[in-house]
Structure 1
């Protein structure tokens, strides 16, 4: 078993010296306290004589005789320091008196650090005690009382959300403002071009009145008012005067937007509702007719005799001569049928009236707006297809042109929305573009001068294969005005001729559009 190290100062269970008695320890402590007090007195006397404090001696005190003397010395040192502070002593006792006997890190640090001069430290403490708190804060270059006040009184900000549509309204206002500025610039430019700029002299000039106003030109023989005093030159009471006894009303012109108004159609009724209205109308007419008969305004109608009520209406006459009564009833029935047929025939329109009505409806349809459709057909070698395209366009009062070309065929039509829709159904649904057939003798004679690519047969005489033939719609929309005055067709051997033909109506871009769509 290893041997334990001896206790410091020879004390402990393995030490040679015996533990000191309490009386000896108290005497050693009093001696140490007296020694420390004497040392402080010497230092104060030296500081008062020389006027400046000298650094404290760094020599350690002699080691005490035992541990009890060391503890008593530390206690007396603390009491002396506390008494010095209470008595007004500025400098506390130096840490030399409190250095322990054994070496430690704290003791080494305290022994190496020199103590500051007593007088300088006393002046610094006195100056700090005399200075008020505000002056100390003002002398600090890093202290700002405003920022300190703001920090003390700062309140946390609440979360504020933007309302829905806030930035949309701002954007719309900015767009409206920019649009208004553009309009102002455009008006200023137009006024400058017309010579009406506010800064120019022409803007302040007043135009001279005309020699004769336009409403007096039809009355005066000369273009001046100097001839008013001459009755012969004033056309008021003469035969060629525009002033008559009749009141002239200017014709009322419809607004352009009124032409596009959709006419409200009457409500569609079911068959039972129509029959009910017819019965009510006929009952009202019958009541009116009966009232006129009672007043004697109209003669009473003859009895309406039918085969079913013949015996009840004619009575004895039917029994006496039934053959004559039957013939009379049959003649009345036939007369009523003839009257019905005549009334229907009188209400029927003639062919001229039907054509006029159709033309009037087509004109009303065109007044609502002009619509254009452009179709592309691969080949129109079959004569029946050309006939259908031509005749339906004429019947529907459409204007436009059909362009025949070896590469493709273009059909341009324009007219009212109703006619254009019917024509579009014809070309896209009703016509079978894969059909082909031999022409008749009359058609062959007419098409004898046509080129080979426009004939339904090839050089040998066989029918051409139209299985890949089709018609597609490449453009549809409303246009401002008619581009063609009538309906027609044109044969163009090359694409340049087709573009030149379309360029007359400013539609040359349609050919490029048709070429791009396969």
Structure 2
């Protein structure tokens, strides 16, 4: 088979084919027209059919083509008109997006719609109506204020006259318990607010925080540390208690150590050797032959030594006892030490102090326990105010509430009966000479608490005929509120 002679698509290798002739202008124009025809045919086929011989989407048909804009094109395609593309299919114009909100029917039917999230609806503005004051309105208010001022002046005048006469009404007791209104500006805010109240607290020009005269600075004040006052009230630690066996063992060891020390001193000749301790039990063992020779003399000697040892023991105990003055000094020191741990106050209300023994016990126990306070004796009620250390206060409280029988009444002593200054309501007998019935008499504790310092310098008593006198006596120590408290206690 001759490969060179066969007509094929491969280029020829002859010499003639390598020589290219110059093409004329007509041939070039013909080739360009043929090329354009092939390109237009390919573009038309691609518009008609896409991949896999499927037609293109109408929205993709106009890609790559320029459409002139203007009123002419707009007039041809109206809102309801249809346009046809090259493929002959009708093209619908898209509707604009609806941005209006839901209707009222849709809102009511939708269970997930929240009307509070919508835009606030504008309410129609309503004009205010003019309100005129009635004739005589402020005149009536002024007259009411004048009547109130006149009433207050009358009350003050009556109260002044009542104090002069010495008569107090029980209905005025409740007024003493009225709590005062708070101040307009607290004392800790006076240096931070440039005003008389808190009305302009939001105004930065009134608040003195960043100003030059402010009390708030960048410096830190370290206060001097003070020991807490409750530490002195803490009880002393109690020693550990030992059992009887442990106490005996400890005593035996201590006595053995003392005996060894005494024996060492005797060996060194520092102290003389003690005589033998002869008792009736060890008589024969200690004395031996001497006891056999004269037992009567030996027994008498042993009895004398036993008596001497007992006498020395009793004398040593007497020497260790404190004298009367030392006992008083020790008691006063203990009471002062008890008061330094913290002061306590008790206030008692006693219905009647007609029994003289009750008054004596109240006064003598307060004096013995180094308590300070006062006893107010009144025809209707009696007030006992005491203050002192915890130990003394506890014993005095037990005295008034448990030990004294307040329903007991005894005849008045001769000394008190001869006293003309003693009031009739302080005597145990009535005007007819019979003993008063104290079956309803009782003592109540109306106040108990700790205080910072003593309000009274000593213990005393005062007889007051009226409430005014009692309040005046207590007002010196700022204790008049206890009288009102006692009157309100049943």
**TM-score tier (shorter):** 0.5 to 0.7
- Deviation, 1:122, is 6.5
Q: 2:344 aligns with which of 367, 371, 386?
A: 371
Q: Deviations over 1:274-316 (max 9, x none)?
A: 3332222212211222233334433322111000111111011
Q: Deviations over 1:223-258 (max 9, x none)?
A: xxxxxxxxxxxxxxxxxxxxxxxxxxxxxx998565
Partners in 2 of 1:463 and 1:356 — Cα distance? 42
RMSD (CA atoms): 3.6
Q: Secondary structure at the match of 2:446?
A: strand
Gaps of 5+ in 2: 1-53, 59-79, 101-185, 195-209, 217-225
Q: Secondary structure at the match of 2:339?
A: helix
Q: 1:330 aligns with which of 300, 303, 312?
A: 303
- Deviation, 1:346, is 1.2
- Deviation, 1:352, is 0.5
Partners in 2 of 1:485 and 1:265 — Cα distance? 34
Match of 1:361 in 2: 334
Match of 1:451 in 2: 423
Q: Deviations over 1:348-395 (max 9, x none)?
A: 111111100000000011111111100000000000000000000000
Partners in 1 of 2:55 and 2:282 — Cα distance? 155
- Deviation, 1:199, is 2.1
TM-score (norm 1): 0.53
Q: 2:283 aligns with which of 300, 310, 315?
A: 310
- Deviation, 1:401, is 0.4
Partners in 1 of 2:239 and 2:291 — Cα distance? 50
Within 5 Å, give how 1:21-420 maps onto structure 2. Answer: 120=81, 123=84, 126-128=90-92, 140-141=97-98, 185=189, 188=192, 199=212, 259-420=232-393
Within 5 Å, give how 1:431-442 maps onto structure 2. Answer: 431-442=404-415
Q: Deviations over 1:190-245 (max 9, x none)?
A: 9xxxxxx9725999xxxxxxxxxxxxxxxxxxxxxxxxxxxxxxxxxxxxxxxxxx
Partners in 2 of 1:298 and 1:372 — Cα distance? 59
Residue 429 to residue 271, structure 1, CA distance change in 2 (3 Å): farther
Q: 1:462 aligns with which of 413, 434, 454?
A: 434
- Deviation, 1:439, is 2.1
Residue 463 to residue 333, structure 1, CA distance change in 2 (3 Å): same
Q: Deviations over 1:316-360 (max 9, x none)?
A: 111111122112111111111111111111111111111000000
Contact 2:412–2:427 (CA under 8 A) maintained in structure 1: no
Q: 2:461 aligns with which of 489, 501, 516?
A: 489
Partners in 1 of 2:296 and 2:450 — Cα distance? 72
TM-score (norm 2): 0.56
Q: Deviations over 1:88-114 (max 9, x none)?
A: 9x9xxxxxxxxxxxxxxxxxxxxxxxx
Match of 1:429 in 2: 402
Q: Which structure has the bigger radius of gyration?
A: 1
Residue 202 to residue 444, structure 1, CA distance change in 2 (3 Å): closer
Q: Secondary structure at the match of 1:363?
A: helix
Greater percentage in helix: 1
- Deviation, 1:87, is 12
Partners in 1 of 2:286 and 2:55 — Cα distance? 158
Residue 516 to residue 308, structure 1, CA distance change in 2 (3 Å): same
Detail structure 1 runs of 4+ shifted over 6 Å in the superposition.
Answer: none
- Deviation, 1:431, is 0.3
Q: Give the count of matched residue pairs.
A: 305
Match of 1:478 in 2: 450
Partners in 2 of 1:333 and 1:126 — Cα distance? 150
Q: 1:505 aligns with which of 457, 469, 477?
A: 477
Partners in 2 of 1:344 and 1:418 — Cα distance? 29
Residue 421 to residue 189, structure 1, CA distance change in 2 (3 Å): farther
Partners in 2 of 1:201 and 1:320 — Cα distance? 109
Partners in 1 of 2:400 and 2:418 — Cα distance? 27
Residue 493 to residue 183, structure 1, CA distance change in 2 (3 Å): closer
Gaps of 5+ in 1: 1-85, 91-118, 144-181, 191-196, 204-252
Residue 496 to residue 410, structure 1, CA distance change in 2 (3 Å): same
